[in-house]
Structure 1
Amino acid sequence: MSKVRIYTLAKELGVDNHKMLELLDGLGVAYKSVSSTIEEETVELIKQLLAEEAGADTTGATAEPAVADTTPATETAAAPAEPAATPARQPETEPAAEPVNEVPHRAPVVTIMGHVDHGKTSLLDYIRKTKVAAKEAGGITQHVGAFEAKTSKGKIVFIDTPGHEAFTTIRARGANVADIAIIVIAADDSLMPQTREAIAHAQAAKVPMIVAINKVDLPQADPEKVKTDLTQLNLVPEEYGGDVVVVPVSAKTGEGVEDLLEYISLTAELEDLRADPKGQFSGVIIEGRVDKQAGVLATVMVQEGTLHVGDFLVVGESYGKIKAMTDSNGGRIKEAGPSTPVQILGFSEVPSSGEKVQSAKNEHAAREVIAQRADQRRDEEDARDRRRAQRSLEDLLGPLGEVRTVNLILRADTQGSVEAIQGILARKESDDVKINVMLSGIGAPTEGDVLLASTAEATILCFSVTPAGGVKKIADTKGIEIKSFRIIYELIDEVDRLIKGNLEPVFEERYLGRAEVRMVIRHPKSGNIAGSYVTDGMFRRNAKAKVTRGKQVVYEGTVVGLKRFKDDVREVQTGYECGINLDWNDVMEGDIIEATEMVEVEQA
């Protein structure tokens, strides 16, 4: 035995992985993870340390009786008192074994991602057939499925996220819900554009990745090429000295599947996944659909707390009461704890994948939550109106004087253009600015690009390609900026402007207009509204406001609303009457309201 994996040695010696890593740390041995290998000399040292620990534990209990056999009777008579110390020592180890208030562990939630024909669904089907008691229908599904697999290490929950381009939305959501991402790559095909996208989504979600090289049973399989290609994405396999776990598998024969499940359990153990089944419930919508017979069905992944039939749930700005719950095997259940996927009947509207779910005590409480969310949404819409300037690369870089990272997604008309732009960006990096190209490709940006940009707070740069109308609309909805260039020097100028430090826009306060308050209108919901006459300039909603009473400034704040008669308006010109709603209720007749706005100043 020249080398042995750490977790294998831990299993042989009967200690847990954390204990083994502590011993290695004490010896100063470098390792990447529990799947790393160590030398035979290190193995012998570990065994010696464990033997010494075991000897120390037993010495106190056995030393006195051993001596007692050769000592006078008076000492022998006293010796039996010493073994009583053995039970006294046991409680020293019990606090670690039975913490009174420790949050229990939960099963890992795993998503399997990859190209559509690389065997992802076949791998899931093999795990279902061998690890799930109740049989389920196999084949490609048109929605995200979830099931629980029983292994020797415990339960593992799998989310099925199809690899089709059309289901990029679901794939992005799957990476965020899951604790571990399995990237499936065919041994005869290596990396594909959708594989790269799946890896980018997993990296953006900051979840541990395990690479499963599938179809190793084929004659043309070349796992080494896949490993080499992975290094080009800065994903270095453990056997090459990196920290990426790579497992060769065959969904057809089952080769390597047990090893894959073992690695999932090891990764979950190191992640120390916990959830309180008695805590406040929270969960995520995996999928929502309408069944012709049952009505609206929603699959929920329970993350914290426990769900019960009869509970009220709030999703977005709608709510429902759980009438029935079904587990992943199709059986009716009355409650579901953490890391449990359940199908729920009780929503009146189909919830969207990825939406968060929370519980409410009763229907009244659920309605209150919805009302608060509606108010918050309106406030956010108003805030977006105030931030008229679009989000730019400068905003992403943040304050000067810090090491900043800019996340970018590149799209261009040819591979040559992509490589040229990447070369330019690499040369523009400095000690203060790091440019991270998360994903690059040929062709117009896709909905998946927008979702990845949203997850990772990235900007999409396009060269000689333009986004489709639907993609642009989604980007606007999510607040993602897509910047298009036709001339490469314009893109270079943009990057130069960032690196040189011309980052923070300079604003100045500019006068807008003045109004006189002629009457105060009491409104039950909006508070006091200042019925005013605009005497100079103009008033604009979301402008800054200063209220003067005599010679004293009594209030400084914001114009939160403007009305002309009963209609909400954005602005009112000189010579018109209007209702000005301030976030302040002490306005009085005769007050003078002055409006200003912050305007970006052109810099030389």
Structure 2
Amino acid sequence: MREKVAYSRRDHHAVIQMDAPVGPRSLRRRPRKPVKQQQTAEVQEEVRPSILYLPDSLTVAELAAELRVPATAVIKTLMSEGVMAAINNVIDFDVAKKVAAQFEVTVERSTPTEKERVQRIGVEAADKTDNLATRPPVVTILGHVDHGKTTLLDAIRQTRVVETEAGGITQHIGAYQVEKDGRKITFLDTPGHEAFTEMRSRGAQVTDIAVLVVAADDGVMPQTVEAINHARAAGVPIVVAINKIDRPGANPDRVKQQLADNDLLAEDWGGDTVMVEVSALKKEGIEDLLEMILLVADIRELKADYNCPASGTVIEAELDKTRGPVATVLVQNGVLRVGDAVVVGVTSGKIRAMFDYRGAALKEAGPSTPVSVLGIEDVPAAGDSVQVVEDEKAARQAAEEKLAGHKTELQKAGRLRLSDLFSKIQEGEVKDLNIVLKADVQGSVEALTSSLEKLSDNKVRVNVIHGAAGAITESDIALAAASDGIIIGFNVRPDPAVRRAAEREGVDIHLYRIIYEAIDDVKKAMAGLLEPTYKEVVLGRAEVRATFKVPGVGTVAGCYVSDGKVVRNASVRVLRDSVVIFEGKLSSLKRFKDDAREVAEGYECGIGIERFNDIKEGDVIEAYQMQEVKV
């Protein structure tokens, strides 16, 4: 007889339901030693549960522990189901259910955890529309590095903040408020669109309006276009501040034409983009800019619930030597008060003190108000959510559950991959394929953008959310991660730091040298025909520090291996300013005068490349191999 055991993953208590009473009489007549063995065998069988309550995802090791079977048995079962997973890999509920069925165990979803209950508080609060009231707009200033973002922020501070505050700002907390005609505007003082997008990639949408600063004498620059695309990807309306109109070479009409080329058409040209001419240095046009920000805010009808449990987002945080963890929080719903118990990301606490941007103590703060708070147990990350709960015990429990699941969530492949596109479309999970496109020249960008976007059909829309000439950067990774998109590179390469960022964020990068191959791969992925058979493994990179002409051999590059290793007979590509100029094979690899099988990082070597002699100092040689992927 086998007992039925209902086992809950949350409380780790087994509830035993007996089908029939177990009598001791049959056991008494058996010899002592066999009885002990029989009992042991029965106990081992009885320990395995008949019902498991599992969460939406868990690791292979965790599932094995719940099933009371070796992890190797779970891995073998997964392989039989066509799933290749290691002991620390994450599997979802449906896969876990199939595996458990092989061990004759029924699986049901666990009841909501404290973490999920806290998340539901925020969702329910956001769904209520009865208590909504107008709130101040939250503004982020974006633009090219030299176009006067900081000067504009300073001008707004000085013209609007100092009027109500003698002595100026005493405390910088990454955000501040100004007043215009009795109405408040919140400005986020972020380092640029990278930080703006990084927060969005963590699920934080804090900005209502983006002010794009463009210098009247310089015009639209590559970083300006990047900022436009980041704001568009976030769905944030753009107000353009044409700065430096006091400069001799200022030409606002030329700037408007360049912006029109990027689909931002000024209102006075018949478009719908608000553009204001300002001089941050001379503090001209600042009042007009603030007025336009309020006008856009009125059109958007920004509202918040003032009566629900407070929630918000961490803008920045630090560990203060005297005060401990300090977080700048933007309140987004409800009223945050001193004494509130809060869950902040994977930590928690009770608000001991709260200050505004001037350093003045506050007892409470409403929606769109930036505050500096004390009382959080650990330093949170920018973009972490803040949610008020009933007491510290509930806050601590929710934070512990989030922390426990944090590693699992990181391991789970949450980002879209081109090879998974068709299945995601069929399941209704994907309606947009967002692409960040980088190429060697602008002509290639335009040709690829046009061809890729024409692939859109009634099931999925292909969007090139950012396209530019140049190397793939960490900013591109952040944008793709925030938009759940992929990156396509044409004749360009990511450097090692960018590759690591892509791996960390789970962003899929596809590199091509022929345009139709890129288009064909996306088309096949949409149709479910893409079966990647090979993947590229970068072995190492070597910097060319000198070149030598060798009679009968050609040009040999004197190199320093800066990353990984260079292996004899490997495939190589030559990069000049991150653009691929040649691909081929190594013809020779030497250490001093001796042939070498491989040269490791930190060593110098001589490299010859088959049928290529146009090598120059400063070039980078990237060695790689193609490995077969078992589908």
With the shorter chain as reference, the TM-score category is: 0.5 to 0.7
Structure 1 position 481, deviation (Å): 1.1
Structure 1 position 102, deviation (Å): 4.5
Match of 2:469 in 1: 442
The one-character-per-residue Cα deviations of 1:57-102 (angstroms, maximum 9, x if unpaired) are xxxxxxxxxxxxxxxxxxxxxxxxxxxxxxxxxxxxxxxxxxx964
Query: Contact 2:204 / 2:385 at 8 angstroms: preserved in 1?
Result: no
Match of 1:460 in 2: 487
Match of 1:349 in 2: 378
Selected match of 1:472 from 472, 475, 499: 499
SS of aligned partner of 1:333: coil
CA–CA distance in 2 between the matches of 1:403 and 1:317? 29
Matches within 5 A, 1:214-229: 214-229=243-258
The one-character-per-residue Cα deviations of 1:77-133 (angstroms, maximum 9, x if unpaired) are xxxxxxxxxxxxxxxxxxxxxxx9642211111111111211111111111111112
Amino acid of the residue matched to residue 469 of structure 2? I
Structure 1 position 403, deviation (Å): 11
Alpha carbons of structure 1 residues 165 and 427: separation in structure 2 relative to 1, 3 Å: closer
Query: Contact 2:176 / 2:188 at 8 angstroms: preserved in 1?
Result: yes
Matches within 5 A, 1:202-217: 202-217=231-246
Query: Contact 2:438 / 2:470 at 8 angstroms: preserved in 1?
Result: yes
> Is 2:436 aligned against 1:409?
yes
Amino acid of the residue matched to residue 279 of structure 1? C
Amino acid of the residue matched to residue 476 of structure 1? E
CA–CA distance in 2 between the matches of 1:179 and 1:167? 12
Query: Contact 1:128 / 1:136 at 8 angstroms: preserved in 2?
Result: no
Gaps of 5+ in 2: 1-128, 532-628
Alpha carbons of structure 1 residues 430 and 220: separation in structure 2 relative to 1, 3 Å: same
Alpha carbons of structure 1 residues 302 and 288: separation in structure 2 relative to 1, 3 Å: same
Matches within 5 A, 1:265-284: 265-284=294-313
Query: Contact 1:415 / 1:442 at 8 angstroms: preserved in 2?
Result: yes
SS of aligned partner of 2:303: coil
Alpha carbons of structure 1 residues 325 and 183: separation in structure 2 relative to 1, 3 Å: same
Amino acid of the residue matched to residue 246 of structure 2? D
Match of 2:399 in 1: 370
Matches within 5 A, 1:175-214: 176-214=205-243
CA–CA distance in 1 between the matches of 2:351 and 2:430? 49
Amino acid of the residue matched to residue 440 of structure 2? D
Selected match of 2:357 from 319, 328, 332: 328
Selected match of 1:291 from 320, 338, 341: 320
CA–CA distance in 2 between the matches of 1:175 and 1:381? 17
Structure 1 position 473, deviation (Å): 3.2
SS of aligned partner of 1:289: strand
Alpha carbons of structure 1 residues 404 and 286: separation in structure 2 relative to 1, 3 Å: closer
> Is 2:526 aligned against 1:495?
no
> Is 2:269 aligned against 1:240?
yes
Query: Contact 1:282 / 1:302 at 8 angstroms: preserved in 2?
Result: yes
Alpha carbons of structure 1 residues 115 and 396: separation in structure 2 relative to 1, 3 Å: farther
- Structure-2-length-normalised TM-score: 0.58
Query: Contact 1:119 / 1:251 at 8 angstroms: preserved in 2?
Result: yes
Alpha carbons of structure 1 residues 190 and 171: separation in structure 2 relative to 1, 3 Å: farther
Match of 1:250 in 2: 279
Matches within 5 A, 1:42-441: 102-132=131-161, 133-134=164-165, 145-163=174-192, 169=198, 176-377=205-406, 380=409, 384=413, 390-392=417-419, 394-395=421-422, 398-399=425-426, 405-425=432-452, 428=455, 434-441=461-468
Alpha carbons of structure 1 residues 175 and 317: separation in structure 2 relative to 1, 3 Å: closer
Match of 2:46 in 1: none
Match of 1:595 in 2: none
Query: Contact 2:439 / 2:489 at 8 angstroms: preserved in 1?
Result: yes
Structure 1 position 220, deviation (Å): 0.8
Match of 2:559 in 1: none
Match of 1:481 in 2: 508
Amino acid of the residue matched to residue 510 of structure 2? K
Q: Percent identity?
A: 47
Alpha carbons of structure 1 residues 429 and 364: separation in structure 2 relative to 1, 3 Å: closer
Alpha carbons of structure 1 residues 257 and 446: separation in structure 2 relative to 1, 3 Å: same
Structure 1 position 303, deviation (Å): 0.5
Alpha carbons of structure 1 residues 461 and 504: separation in structure 2 relative to 1, 3 Å: closer
Query: Contact 1:184 / 1:214 at 8 angstroms: preserved in 2?
Result: yes
CA–CA distance in 2 between the matches of 1:175 and 1:423? 31
Gaps of 5+ in 1: 1-99, 506-599
The one-character-per-residue Cα deviations of 1:293-350 (angstroms, maximum 9, x if unpaired) are 3332110000011112222222222112222211011111121111110011223322
Amino acid of the residue matched to residue 453 of structure 1? A
CA RMSD of aligned residues (A): 3.6
Amino acid of the residue matched to residue 238 of structure 2? M
Query: Contact 1:172 / 1:448 at 8 angstroms: preserved in 2?
Result: no
CA–CA distance in 1 between the matches of 2:132 and 2:218? 44
CA–CA distance in 2 between the matches of 1:397 and 1:364? 39
Match of 1:563 in 2: none
SS of aligned partner of 1:437: strand
SS of aligned partner of 1:351: coil
The structure that has the greater radius of gyration is 1
Structure 1 position 229, deviation (Å): 0.9
CA–CA distance in 1 between the matches of 2:150 and 2:273? 22
Alpha carbons of structure 1 residues 237 and 144: separation in structure 2 relative to 1, 3 Å: farther
CA–CA distance in 2 between the matches of 1:163 and 1:388? 24
CA–CA distance in 2 between the matches of 1:369 and 1:424? 48
Structure 1 position 440, deviation (Å): 1.7
Alpha carbons of structure 1 residues 136 and 210: separation in structure 2 relative to 1, 3 Å: farther
CA–CA distance in 2 between the matches of 1:311 and 1:402? 37
Amino acid of the residue matched to residue 259 of structure 1? D
Alpha carbons of structure 1 residues 371 and 335: separation in structure 2 relative to 1, 3 Å: same
Alpha carbons of structure 1 residues 245 and 288: separation in structure 2 relative to 1, 3 Å: same
Alpha carbons of structure 1 residues 487 and 217: separation in structure 2 relative to 1, 3 Å: same
CA–CA distance in 2 between the matches of 1:198 and 1:147? 22
Amino acid of the residue matched to residue 150 of structure 1? E
CA–CA distance in 2 between the matches of 1:277 and 1:426? 42
The one-character-per-residue Cα deviations of 1:496-544 (angstroms, maximum 9, x if unpaired) are 4256x34698xxxxxxxxxxxxxxxxxxxxxxxxxxxxxxxxxxxxxxx
Amino acid of the residue matched to residue 316 of structure 1? G
Alpha carbons of structure 1 residues 265 and 388: separation in structure 2 relative to 1, 3 Å: closer
CA–CA distance in 1 between the matches of 2:290 and 2:416? 49
Amino acid of the residue matched to residue 312 of structure 1? A
CA–CA distance in 1 between the matches of 2:145 and 2:166? 23
Alpha carbons of structure 1 residues 135 and 160: separation in structure 2 relative to 1, 3 Å: farther
Match of 1:22 in 2: none
Amino acid of the residue matched to residue 468 of structure 1? D
